Amino acid sequence: MSKSVKKKVAVAMSGGVDSSVAAAMMVEKGYDVIGLTMQLYDSGRTTSVGSKTCCAGQDIYDAKRVSDKLGIKHYTLDYEKRFQESVMQDFADSYAEGITPIPCIRCNQKMKFKDLLNTSLDLGAEFLVTGHYANIKGEGENIGLYRAKDLTKDQSYFLFATPQKILKYICFPLGELSKADTRNYAKRMNLSISDKPESQDICFVQSTAKKGYREIVQKLRPDISKSGNIIHVNGRIIGKHNGIDSFTVGQRRGLGVISEDGTPLYVTKIEANNNSVFVGSEQDMEIRNFNIAEISWLENKPLDKVEGIIADVQLSSEHITQKASVSYLDSDNLLVNLHEANYRVAPGQACVIYKNDRILGGGWISGGLSE
């Protein structure tokens, strides 16, 4: 009798506990597992043991060590140039346009579930496994992306731009686990990274860097670090700034200006074309309507039939949603009408649309902001 052939899967291994446990789970389930680690940026300027980065230096070493422990093949893929062009440059260009980017979503969209997925399939894998806390449910036309069981760790917000047609090639084995479950699993398997700290929000920005993200932005877009006016919403110039890349909409601290009556000031708008930063009171930040662009639609209902859908929308990485009505504008834009005002709507952030725990779609907050 011929021996049955194991199904091959590829696991995206960042060197952290989540992706390591995802790999271990697939090994325990009997798959032929290969580990793939993307080297995304210069490891020479990062990382040490206990660092909170991923995909460089120590993290690649940790992924290799876990792979050896599990007895699986491991490959490191040099995606540094592609990452700089697709993610880091987009990050810097966004600040140059006066908007606040989310590089983790761009990385998932342009790197992990595009380049890495294609490499996985080329290597003969049936699907790509990652350590995201999210769920994929259903089959065929009904396949969909859902929140994780542990809503405090849910990462579906960062995955909204994943096309529905490729969901069948992706697996999220941690979707039903809590973080504590994951760490306990790693300890049971005697994985060396069981207590490793979680990666920070932006992997390529060192938490110890003096200038933080500005160091990256200024290197890639030195042209935007020039002085300009800080203008109150009433039209009065109340100060100067040293570059719009120091500001994001909703920012309160570090503005370098104060109001006449002591009322806290917030960044309400950034106009890149004239290098101006506008500030006002919290009330001046009230938003009820806005457009979203670059739509990713994961629901069977045709996008042009979307009219007044009542749904929950998430507008930032914080696990907070609010009710809204969503309507079709054109093939690349939706109108979102919030049922209650929001005071932290920032251009460049993602708006993800949920119906219960399922993602209907989402897009990037782009314009049309109004009270």
- Positions marked catalytic: 107, 203
- Convert 112-150 into a string of H (helix), E (strand) and C (coil): HHHHHHHHHHHCCCCCEECCCCEEEECCHHHCEEEECCC
Tokens encoding 41: 């940026």
Are the C-beta atoms of 199 and 53 separated by less than 8 Å?
yes
Are the C-beta atoms of 277 and 229 separated by less than 8 Å?
yes
Which single residue is written with the structure tokens 């994943």?
162
CA atoms within 13 A on the CB side of 319: 12
Amino acid at 371: E
Q: How far apart are CA 299 and CA 360, in angstroms?
A: 5
Q: How far apart are CA 119 and CA 315, in angstroms?
A: 32
Cα Dmax for the chain: 86
Partners of 322 in the β-ladder: 313
Strand order in the sheet with 237-241: 237-241, 228-232, 276-280, 266-271
Are the C-beta atoms of 311 and 326 separated by less than 8 Å?
yes
Cβ-based burial of 285 (10 A; exposed 0-12, middle 13-18, buried ≥19)? buried
Long-range contacts of 51-56 (CB under 8 A, 24+ apart): 51/197, 52/197, 52/198, 52/199, 52/200, 52/207, 53/199, 53/200, 53/203, 53/204, 53/206, 54/14, 54/15, 54/16, 54/199, 54/203, 55/14, 55/15, 55/203, 56/203
